[in-house]
C-alpha cells in the first residue's frame, strides 16, 4: 500500500505542473496578445502608447519563461493577479463564488448517489422485472440527455405549470438555509440527472457480477438474512466502482455547473467563467480554469488512494 | 457408398457457399442485413444518423425557407401556425427550416472533429506504445494533465482564447477528444506489440514504419471505428453546449444549441421554441450512442464497460 500510495502521490506533482503549463499555453493562443485583444475589442481605437503601457502592466514585455514562473510563483501564494474587469484581485471575486459551486456540486452528487444506488441494486436483484426495465430505459435516456436540455425542460415545466422563474437574489446557506436550498434544488436536480443514470448503470452492472460471487453464496448458505447479505456483503462491494468513477463524475459535475449556473442564474464559478469570457477578463479565466483542474486532479488522487485502501487487490496491480 | 456420396455432396455444398460469398456492394449490404438482425436498435440508430447526415447535405433543397429569412409568418407561432410545420421564433423565422440548416453545423463539426481527433489520438497512441521509454512516459503525463480538465472547461478556455468560429469549435473539440482516444488505443497497442506476429515481423527485420502500418494499425481498426461512433454523440453535445452558451458558433448561424438558447430567453412566451431543438438533439445523440454501443458489442467486446 505504501509503495502504491507513494507512486501515486509522486505522479500528482508533474500532472499539476503540466496542468498549469497547458493553461498558460492556451492563454497565449490569443491572436496577437491579451492587450491587443482587450484594446481592439469593439470599435475602440487605441494608441501605440496605450498598447505599450498595457503590455508593461501585464508583464507581457518579459520573456515567456519569466512570465510563467512569475505567474506560478504568485499563484502558489494564492495570488492569481488582478481581474481585468473588476480591477481587483481575482481571488476576491472567486473566493465568494467557489463555495456556491462546491455546494451545488455536492448536493448534485448526493442526489445522484442516494437515488441511483438503490435503483441500481433493485434493478440487479430483480433482473427482467418491470422495475429493471424502467430503470434501464431511464438510464439509457439519461445518458443521452445533455445537461442543458434537462435544465431547460425543468424550467419549461416550472414556468408553464407553476409560473416559477429562477430567483435573482442569491442567499448563502449559513444566512438563510431554507431559501438557499430552494434556490439550489432545481439546478442540483438538473445537474444530477445524467449522473443518476450513470451511477445507476454502474451500480447495476457491478451488483450483477457480485451476486454470482462465491462469498455471496457462502453468506447465504451460513444462514444470514437476505438483507444482511445484500447490504453488508453486496453493497460494500457494489460501491467500489461508484468510488472509482467518482473522479469522472466530479469532473463532469464541475463542467456542468458552467451551463447550469448560467441557466438558473446561480452566482457561482461557472457563471463567472462565462461572464469573464464575454468580458475578455483573461486573468479571471486563467485563474478559474487552473483552480477547477486542481480540484479534479486532487479528487482523482484522493479517489485512487481511497481505492487502494479499500481494495487490497489494487496494490498488486 | 451412400456415406461417400453425401460427403461429396457436402463438399460441393461448401464450395458453392464459398463461391457465392458476396463481394463489393453485395458484401456491404449483406453485412448491414446481418447487423440489422443482430442489433436492431443500433441499426435504427444508424438509420437516424444517416438521415441526419443526408438532411445536412441537402438542407437547401429540403428546407422550405432560408434559416435567416425573417418574418416568413407571424412571430412566436406554435406548430402548424400559418402554414409553418413547427412554428416560428421571435423574429418570425421558420423553426423547421432552422433545424434543418442547424443539422449542417452539428454534423459538420461533429464528424470532422471526431475524424481528426480520433485519428490523431490513434496515431499518437500507437506511436507512444511502439516507441516506449521516456517519450511514452512524458506523453502519458501530458495526457493525464489534459484529462485533469473537465472537457467543457478546457473547450471554453480554448474558445475564449481563439474566438467564436466554426473552425475554432473543431479545434477545441479535437483537443478534448485526443487524450481519451490516445489512452484507449495505447493500451491496446501495447498488448499487440507483445504478440507473436509482431515479434515475428520484427525478427525478420521489419522496420518501425512497416510494423506500425502493417501490423499495429490494422489491429486497432475495430476499436477506432467504435471510438469514432461513441465520441460522435459527445462531440455533438459539446458543440451544442458551446453554441448554447454563446461562445461556440457565431450567433448569426442557425445551430441547435443557439436555437435552444433563443428558446430559453423566450421560454415564457413560446415553449415550443425549446422543445423542437431539444427533441432533435436528444434523438440524434440517443441514436448515435445506440449505434456506438451496438458496434462495440459486435466488433470489440473487450471495450464493454469502458
Residue A268 reports pLDDT greater than 50: yes
Say whether A156 and B246 touch across the interface (CB within 8 A): no
Predicted confidence at residue A241, as pLDDT, reads 83
pLDDT per residue, tens digit, chain B (306 aa), is: 344 444 444 455 555 555 555 667 788 888 888 888 888 888 999 999 999 999 999 988 888 888 777 777 777 777 877 777 787 777 778 888 899 999 999 999 999 999 999 999 999 999 999 998 899 989 998 998 999 899 999 999 999 889 889 999 999 999 999 999 999 999 889 888 888 888 888 889 888 888 888 888 888 888 898 899 989 999 999 999 999 998 988 878 889 999 998 888 888 777 788 889 999 999 999 899 889 888 888 876 555 544
CA-based nearest residue to A208, from A126, A277, A147:
A126
Domain membership of residue B142 as a residue range: 104-300
Confirm whether B171 is domain-assigned: yes
How many CB atoms sit inside 10 A of residue A224's CB? 15
The alpha carbon of A214 is separated from its chain's Cα centroid by a whole number of angstroms, namely 37
Tell me which of A33 and A302 has the higher pLDDT. Answer: A302
Closest residue of chain B to A253, computed from CA coordinates: B150
CA-based nearest residue to A266, from A126, A109, A105, A147:
A105
* CA dist A216 → A207, A229, A311 (Å): 11, 7, 17
Q: For A93, what's the count of Cα atoms within 13 Å in the CB-facing half-sphere?
A: 26
Say whether A289 and B153 touch across the interface (CB within 8 A): yes
Say whether B150 and A254 touch across the interface (CB within 8 A): yes
Predicted confidence at residue A102, as pLDDT, reads 92
What pTM, to 2 d.p., does this model score?
0.86
Q: Which residues in chain B touch residue A11, judged by CB atoms under 8 angstroms apart?
A: 141, 144
Give how far B56 is from chain A: nearest CA, Å. Answer: 21
Q: Which of B150, B156, B162 sits opposite A251 (nearest CB)?
A: B150
Confirm whether B254 is domain-assigned: yes
In tens, the pLDDT along A44-78 reads 677 788 788 888 877 777 888 888 888 888 888 88
Question: For residue A291, what is the enclosing H or E element?
Answer: helix A282-310
Residue A138 reports pLDDT greater than 90: no
Confirm whether B190 is domain-assigned: yes
Confirm whether B130 is domain-assigned: yes
Say whether A293 and B149 touch across the interface (CB within 8 A): yes
The alpha carbon of A205 is separated from its chain's Cα centroid by a whole number of angstroms, namely 24
Q: Which residues in chain B touch residue A156, judged by CB atoms under 8 angstroms apart?
A: 267, 271, 274-275
Q: CB–CB of B92/B86 below 8 Å?
A: no
Say whether B156 and A31 touch across the interface (CB within 8 A): no
Cell 467557489, residue located? A98
Residue A317 reports pLDDT greater than 70: no
In tens, the pLDDT along A97-131 reads 899 999 999 999 999 999 999 899 888 888 888 88
Q: What is the mean pLDDT of residues A232-237?
A: 82
Question: What are the backbone angles phi and psi of residue A34, rounded to the nearest 5°?
Answer: -55, -45
CA Rg, chain B, in Å? Answer: 24
Q: Which of A31, A259, A277 sits opposite B241 (nearest CB)?
A: A259
| Calpha distance A49→A41 (Å, rounded) | 17
Which pLDDT band, with edges at 50, 70 and 90, does A133 fall under?
A: confident
DSSP B189-211: HHHHHTSHHHHHHHHTT--HHHI
How many CB atoms sit inside 10 A of residue B221's CB? 12
The alpha carbon of A49 is separated from its chain's Cα centroid by a whole number of angstroms, namely 42
Predicted confidence at residue B4, as pLDDT, reads 45
Question: What residues contact A284, with CB distance under 8 A and at least 6 apart?
Answer: A83, A84, A85, A90, A93, A94, A272, A273, A276
CA-based nearest residue to B237, from B148, B177, B160:
B177
Closest residue of chain A to B150, computed from CA coordinates: A251
Q: Is A137 on the interface with B (CB under 8 A)?
A: no
Q: Which long-range contacts (CB under 8 A, 24 or more apart) does B29-37 make?
A: B35/B294, B35/B298
Say whether B267 and A159 touch across the interface (CB within 8 A): yes
* A contact test, residue of B142, B145, B230, B234 with most A CBs within 10 A: B145
Question: What residues contact A158, with CB distance under 8 A and at least 6 apart?
Answer: A164, A165, A186
| Calpha distance A263→A278 (Å, rounded) | 16
CA-based nearest residue to B190, from B218, B223, B221, B216:
B216
Q: Which of A154-163, A168-177, A205-214, A244-253 has the lowest mean pLDDT?
A: A168-177
Q: What is the mean pLDDT of residues A1-10?
A: 83
Question: What residues contact B75, with CB distance under 8 A and at least 6 apart?
Answer: B88, B89, B90, B91, B92
Say whether B150 and A144 touch across the interface (CB within 8 A): no
Q: Which residues in chain B touch residue A145, judged by CB atoms under 8 angstroms apart?
A: 282, 285
Which DSSP category does A173 fall into? T
Cell 447495476, residue located? A204
- A162-174: burial string, b at 16+ Cβ within 10 Å, e else: eeeeeeeebbeee
Q: CB–CB of B92/B71 below 8 Å?
A: yes
Largest CA distance in chain B: 86
Predicted confidence at residue B2, as pLDDT, reads 43
Q: With the C-alpha atoms ordered B271, B277, B280, B281, is the resulting torsion angle positive or negative?
A: negative
| Calpha distance B228→A107 (Å, rounded) | 34
Say whether A258 and B237 touch across the interface (CB within 8 A): no
* CA dist A108 → A174, A267, B102, B138, B232 (Å): 19, 16, 32, 35, 26
Predicted confidence at residue A166, as pLDDT, reads 67
End-to-end CA distance of chain A: 11
Predicted confidence at residue A101, as pLDDT, reads 92
Counting one residue from chain A and one from chain B, the pairs whose CB atoms sit within 8 A come to 135
Say whether A153 and B246 touch across the interface (CB within 8 A): no
Name beta bridge partners: A82: A89
Q: Which residues in chain A touch residue B150, judged by CB atoms under 8 angstroms apart?
A: 251-252, 254-255, 292, 296
Q: Which residues in chain A touch residue B145, judged by CB atoms under 8 angstroms apart?
A: 15, 18-19, 21-22, 297
Q: CB–CB of A300/A247 below 8 Å?
A: yes
Confirm whether B36 is domain-assigned: no
Confirm whether B28 is domain-assigned: no
Closest residue of chain B to A34, computed from CA coordinates: B161
Q: Total structural domains in chain B?
A: 1
Q: Which of B144, B156, B281 sits opposite A146 (nearest CB)?
A: B281
Q: Is B286 on the interface with A (CB under 8 A)?
A: yes
- What is the share, in percent, of chain A residues with pLDDT greater than 70? 96
Q: Is B148 on the interface with A (CB under 8 A)?
A: yes
Q: Is A23 on the interface with B (CB under 8 A)?
A: yes
The complex scores an ipTM of: 0.87
Phi-psi region of A32 (alpha: psi -120 to 50; beta: other; left: phi over 0): left
Confirm whether B40 is domain-assigned: no
Q: Which residues in chain A touch residue B240, judged by CB atoms under 8 angstroms apart?
A: 146, 148
Q: Is B110 on the interface with A (CB under 8 A)?
A: no
Q: Which residues in chain B touch residue A144, judged by CB atoms under 8 angstroms apart?
A: 233, 282, 285-286, 289
CATH number of B226's domain: 1.10.3720.10
How many CB atoms sit inside 10 A of residue A313's CB? 8
Give me the residues of A, 281-310, that contact B with CB < 8 A.
Answer: 282, 285, 289, 292-293, 296-297, 300
Say whether A143 and B289 touch across the interface (CB within 8 A): yes
Q: Which residues in chain A touch residue B257, judged by CB atoms under 8 angstroms apart?
A: 148
Tell me which of A281 and B242 has the higher pLDDT. Answer: B242
Predicted confidence at residue A73, as pLDDT, reads 87
The alpha carbon of A14 is separated from its chain's Cα centroid by a whole number of angstroms, namely 21
Confirm whether B90 is domain-assigned: no
Amino acid at each position: 500500500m505504501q509503495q502504491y500510495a507513494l507512486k501515486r502521490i509522486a505522479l500528482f506533482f508533474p500532472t499539476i505542473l503540466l496542468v498549469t503549463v497547458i493553461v498558460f499555453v492556451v492563454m497565449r493562443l490569443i491572436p496577437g496578445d491579451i492587450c491587443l485583444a482587450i484594446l481592439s475589442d469593439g470599435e475602440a481605437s487605441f494608441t501605440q502608447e496605450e498598447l505599450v503601457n498595457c503590455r508593461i502592466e501585464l508583464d507581457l514585455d518579459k520573456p515567456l519563461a519569466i512570465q510563467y514562473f512569475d505567474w506560478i510563483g504568485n499563484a502558489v501564494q494564492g495570488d492569481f493577479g488582478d481581474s481585468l474587469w473588476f480591477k481587483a484581485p481575482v481571488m476576491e471575486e472567486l473566493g465568494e463564488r467557489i463555495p456556491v459551486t462546491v455546494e451545488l456540486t455536492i448536493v448534485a452528487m448526493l442526489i445522484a448517489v442516494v437515488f441511483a444506488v438503490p435503483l441500481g441494486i433493485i434493478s440487479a436483484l430483480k433482473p427482467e422485472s418491470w422495475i429493471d426495465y424502467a430503470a434501464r430505459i431511464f438510464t439509457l435516456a439519461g445518458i443521452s440527455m445533455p445537461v442543458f436540455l434537462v435544465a431547460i425542460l425543468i424550467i419549461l415545466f416550472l414556468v408553464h405549470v407553476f409560473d416559477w422563474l429562477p430567483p435573482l437574489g442569491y442567499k448563502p446557506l449559513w444566512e438563510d438555509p431554507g431559501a438557499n436550498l430552494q434556490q439550489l434544488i432545481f439546478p442540483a436536480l438538473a445537474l444530477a440527472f445524467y449522473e443518476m443514470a450513470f451511477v445507476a448503470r454502474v451500480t447495476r452492472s457491478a451488483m450483477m457480477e457480485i451476486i454470482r460471487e462465491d462469498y455471496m453464496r457462502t453468506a447465504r448458505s451460513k444462514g444470514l438474512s437476505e438483507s444482511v447479505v445484500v447490504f453488508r456483503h453486496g453493497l460494500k462491494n457494489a460501491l467500489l466502482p461508484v468510488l472509482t468513477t467518482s473522479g469522472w463524475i466530479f469532473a463532469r459535475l464541475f463542467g456542468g455547473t458552467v451551463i447550469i449556473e448560467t441557466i438558473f442564474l446561480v452566482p457561482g464559478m461557472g457563471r463567472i467563467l462565462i461572464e469573464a469570457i464575454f468580458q475578455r477578463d483573461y486573468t479571471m479565466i486563467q485563474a478559474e480554469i487552473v483552480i477547477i483542474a486542481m480540484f479534479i486532479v486532487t479528487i482523482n488522487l484522493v479517489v485512487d488512494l481511497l481505492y487502494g485502501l479499500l481494495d487490497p487487490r489494487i496494490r498488486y496491480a | 457408398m451412400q456415406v461417400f456420396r453425401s460427403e461429396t455432396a457436402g463438399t460441393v455444398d461448401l464450395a458453392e457457399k464459398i463461391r457465392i460469398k458476396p463481394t463489393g456492394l453485395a458484401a456491404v449490404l449483406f453485412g448491414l442485413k446481418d447487423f440489422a438482425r443482430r442489433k436492431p436498435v443500433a441499426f435504427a440508430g444508424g438509420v437516424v444518423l444517416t438521415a441526419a447526415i443526408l438532411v445536412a447535405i441537402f438542407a437547401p433543397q429540403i428546407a422550405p425557407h432560408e434559416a435567416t429569412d425573417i418574418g416568413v409568418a407571424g412571430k412566436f407561432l406554435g406548430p402548424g401556425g400559418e402554414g409553418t410545420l413547427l412554428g416560428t421564433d421571435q423574429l418570425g423565422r421558420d423553426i423547421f427550416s432552422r433545424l434543418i440548416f442547424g443539422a449542417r453545423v452539428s454534423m459538420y463539426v461533429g464528424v470532422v472533429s471526431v475524424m481528426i481527433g480520433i485519428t490523431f489520438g490513434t496515431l499518437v497512441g500507437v506511436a507512444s506504445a511502439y516507441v516506449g521509454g521516456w517519450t511514452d512516459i512524458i506523453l502519458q503525463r501530458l495526457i493525464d494533465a489534459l484529462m485533469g480538465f473537465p472537457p467543457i472547461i478546457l473547450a471554453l478556455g480554448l474558445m475564449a482564447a481563439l474566438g467564436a468560429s466554426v473552425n475554432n469549435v473543431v479545434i477545441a473539440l479535437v483537443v478534448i477528444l485526443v487524450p481519451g482516444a490516445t489512452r484507449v488505443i495505447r493500451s491496446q497497442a501495447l498488448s499487440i506489440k507483445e504478440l507473436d506476429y509482431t515479434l515475428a515481423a520484427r525478427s525478420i527485420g521489419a522496420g518501425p514504419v512497416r510494423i506500425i502500418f502493417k501490423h499495429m494499425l490494422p489491429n486497432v481498426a475495430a476499436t477506432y471505428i467504435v471510438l469514432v461512433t461513441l465520441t460522435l454523440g459527445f462531440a455533438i453535445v459539446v458543440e451544442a453546449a458551446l453554441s448554447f452558451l454563446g461562445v461556440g458558433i457565431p450567433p448569426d448561424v442557425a445551430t441547435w444549441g443557439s436555437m435552444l438558447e433563443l428558446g430559453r430567453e423566450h421560454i415564457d412566451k413560446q415553449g415550443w421554441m425549446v422543445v423542437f431543438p431539444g427533441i432533435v438533439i436528444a434523438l440524434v445523440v440517443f441514436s448515435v450512442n445506440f449505434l456506438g454501443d451496438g458496434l462495440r458489442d459486435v466488433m470489440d467486446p473487450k471495450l464493454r464497460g469502458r
